[in-house]
Amino acid sequence: MEVVIVPDAAAGGELIAEAMAALLRRTPDALLGVATGSTPLPVYQALAARVRAGAVDASRARVCQLDEYVGLPAGHPESYRSVVLREVVDPLGLSPKAFMGPDGAAADVQAACAAYDAALAAAGGVDLQLLGIGTDGHIGFNEPCSSLASRTRIKTLTEQTRVDNARFFDGDIEQVPRHVITQGIGTILEARHLVLLATGEGKAEAVAQTVEGPVAAVVPASALQLHPHATVVVDEAAASKL
Ligand code: GLP
């Protein structure tokens, strides 16, 4: 595992956007796995800026989702599908056809999970998966004690994660869905390159456990230690407990 400490979130965004641009120059139709939350936004903005400036051609890029809420109505602005379309697909000028994600509104959620794992494999696998980290060490929506071998499946959110994410739902925890679909930890580990970005002091403890603690299901992000090509990018605040 490589750990890169950058001065601030903007520098982390630039660094990872450049890694994505370099990947797209080598592999124009690369499949980029994207995460939601506030942390990755500087990455998407920096990558879109490179596209606008003609520094990289992303026209053949493909994008896939990491996770999704279950039960939000189609088109809800905070469904992760809506977020990825708004923050990544549109700014990069991609067609929605270049984008894949699990169907959180499916009548048969288990079948939707299996279909998504199969679709990722059929697409040739994820070339670079960007990850954020929850304050409890979760990646995607793999909450503590998720199996390190897990596949895409339905999960129940912890109270802590619903509190953390309430800011996207008018600060009202009751509006935060209780169930989600997430790529499993085993699924995530199949990406060819994992890049985790963490910024701010609130992530310092989770980062320390991820990087310096034992590999343990209680800290899902610690599974990155098992991956042959994992990069953890942290700002100085998130690195403060290393
Ligand atoms: C959600 C997402 C994660 C994300 C986490 C942290 O739980 N499912 O993929 O990493 O939030 O979000 P933020 O970056 O806003 O702290």
pLDDT tens per residue, range 168-186: 999 999 999 999 999 999 9
* Per-residue confidence (pLDDT) for residue 191, from 0 to 100: 98
Question: What does the mean pLDDT of the chain come to?
Answer: 97
* Per-residue confidence (pLDDT) for residue 220, from 0 to 100: 98
CATH of the domain at 134: 3.40.50.1360
Using 50, 70 and 90 to split pLDDT, how confident is the model at 165? Answer: very high
Q: Average pLDDT of 61-70? A: 98
Containing structural domain, residue 196: 2-235
Q: Is residue 120 part of a domain?
A: yes
Active site residue 29: no
Task: Output the CA 199–ligand 1 centroid distance in Å.
Answer: 11
Q: Which of 68, 117, 127, 138 is catalytic?
A: 138
> What is the ipTM, given to two decimal places?
0.96
Q: Is residue 165 part of a domain?
A: yes
* Per-residue confidence (pLDDT) for residue 74, from 0 to 100: 78
* Integer CA distances (angstroms), 174 to 6, 15, 83, 141, 198, in order: 36, 37, 20, 18, 27
Give the chain's domain count: 1
Q: Is residue 240 part of a domain?
A: no
Active site residue 143: yes
Using 50, 70 and 90 to split pLDDT, how confident is the model at 59? Answer: very high
pTM value > 0.90: yes
Active site residue 67: yes
Pairing between β-strand 179-182 and β-strand 193-198 as defined by DSSP bridges: unpaired
* Per-residue confidence (pLDDT) for residue 54, from 0 to 100: 97
* Per-residue confidence (pLDDT) for residue 73, from 0 to 100: 87
Which three-class secondary structure state does DSSP give residue 86? helix
| Residue 35, ligand 1, Cβ within 6 A | yes
Q: Which atom of ligand 1 is nearest to the CA of 202?
A: 16
Task: Output the CA 54–ligand 1 centroid distance in Å.
Answer: 30
φ, ψ for residue 147 (rounded to 5)?
A: -65, 135
